[in-house]
Structure 1
């Protein structure tokens, strides 16, 4: 039987057959691909500069439409699904996979040289996402081992990592896991609050630490998760402290059903948010602009208005750089640049 990890690895073959020849599609410019890679990691550094990462050891350094492909020597078989750029030259790239296939690499010279920092030594472990609160404090989310999710913490910019105590995490349900689809399944905000989202076990849940001290509560969302391919895929805080979560079913990316939900800061119940139907794997927020994307296309809401589809091109990840601009990445090395 295929498990959740097998399914997400096969998602492109099942669903992603984009026509990428057009320069523009629904407001998103799509320059020609420069790498044969399934791109999922994405991290803007400010202005027009951004980094993307993906399968087969590929990293892309971009500036507006320019793309400089980099293949890390010694990491050609790794799938870099997570990425964090501290600045134009300093980047951490996280690969996802079982056991030691989950690794962390660093460059400080804009991608000219890379150093492997660490690898997952737990054969049952699987890293899903990496996020930083500032230049020192960050988290890696991994699938459950010993009955609970793995949450690693660093206070030195990624040089060393410590697993948060299991006692602060509720037990994971049988078959529950996080999705390494867009480096978006764990998020932090400026208050130090931490949240991650899950699926595949009947309920799509969000684990939230409002105090930021490693003690989490598990909250149900209205997103369906009654199959290994279904659940909550990405999460983000807005400027007011509300928590947004998106998801769906990547095996059936155009399926109906709740794909977006929101939790107000003072509540413990998620409310479904009306949005165009379809699977969403990534969400990003800047000011009063909320954008989400997936194999079903890209949707956006401005100033609290209704969500509208701006592109039908399948993507994996989105990061808003300003309220009216974003960079996206997806299947077959695709890059998208949105200007609203």
Structure 2
């Protein structure tokens, strides 16, 4: 049943200086946090505005260094790991958790009022990520039930959801799952491609559909996944169709090993990409800029140059707003603002 909810908000405008910067790659400013939350959901809304979401029911509406933090009354125990902002006032927030701890909430007035849209009805289900193609078509990825990943689809802006035919998704390996670490394990391409990435079962895989999500094929990546904490955590399409994927081991954030790979357009084999060592949970691409982030810090490549570390600050998620700008979020309510 839908419930209306009030919110409590606080605001902050003080900012800390930029952290370490690589030559020509700028730096990351970190304003003072406004909430005690592990922020993982992130969605820019144009200009310098954005929404973030995370644990303990917290959401943040931001504009540059200013942050207005709020909690949905009745949802304080939820972990909002997924977020999609259609506009600065219209937002869907997705919580991740077992069974009915996976929920979807909506505001149409910038957070003054929230309504519960739907709740996961599968007691064995666990939602990991939400992504939209446009204002009406979107996907929710859930961990495997009945031996296959759950892919939910909406064609009405998120009001109703139906599971895609399970036979369109290859069987999951024992122990294989997606990681609800950054709302980044689902990627939408410009020409109808849909992809999601996994780990924890001996190999990190990307499930790719080139036709709008009806039928997926599973492709191996070179990212290690020989334990439940290892694998591919986020993926993103470039404008030219290149599919990027990042990952590592969240229990050992500074470990060596392949943490970044890409699939060139028309290819079926991922290639490892040299990058500074460390666990990466979030990834985004804008033009010829590729940025990845995680508990080991943030790395970036511009104009095809080698990846360099732009900041050591631990983060969970990144969303680029241009070739030289982006927003990040992470532990303890951290928001990061990147400018090259």
Q: Is residue 66 of structure 2 the alignment partner of residue 52 of structure 1?
A: no
Could you tell me which residue of structure 1 aligns to residue 251 of structure 2?
251
Aligned length: 320
Could you tell me which residue of structure 2 aligns to residue 227 of structure 1?
227
| Structure 1: unaligned runs, 5 residues or longer | 1-20
TM superposition shift of 1:249: 0.3
Q: Which runs of structure 2 are paired with 1:76-155 in the superposition (5 Å)? A: 76-155=76-155
CA offset digits 1:30-82 (Å, max 9, x no partner): 01000010000000011100000000100000000000001111100000000
Q: Is residue 199 of structure 2 the alignment partner of residue 205 of structure 1?
A: no
| Structure 2: unaligned runs, 5 residues or longer | 1-14, 21-26
Separation in 1, partners of 2:139, 2:168? 15
Q: Is residue 24 of structure 2 the alignment partner of residue 30 of structure 1?
A: no
CA offset digits 1:116-154 (Å, max 9, x no partner): 000001111000000000000000000000000000000
TM superposition shift of 1:24: 1.8
Could you tell me which residue of structure 2 aligns to residue 273 of structure 1?
273
The two structures have a TM-score, normalised by structure 1, of 0.93
Separation in 2, partners of 1:186, 1:78? 21
- SS of the residue corresponding to residue 170 of structure 1 reads coil
Separation in 2, partners of 1:310, 1:127? 31
- SS of the residue corresponding to residue 77 of structure 1 reads coil
- SS of the residue corresponding to residue 332 of structure 2 reads helix
Could you tell me which residue of structure 2 aligns to residue 41 of structure 1?
41
- SS of the residue corresponding to residue 245 of structure 2 reads strand
Cα-Cα RMSD? 0.8
Could you tell me which residue of structure 2 aligns to residue 216 of structure 1?
216
Could you tell me which residue of structure 2 aligns to residue 12 of structure 1?
none
The two structures have a TM-score, normalised by structure 2, of 0.93
Separation in 2, partners of 1:74, 1:279? 34
Separation in 2, partners of 1:103, 1:273? 36
TM superposition shift of 1:188: 0.7
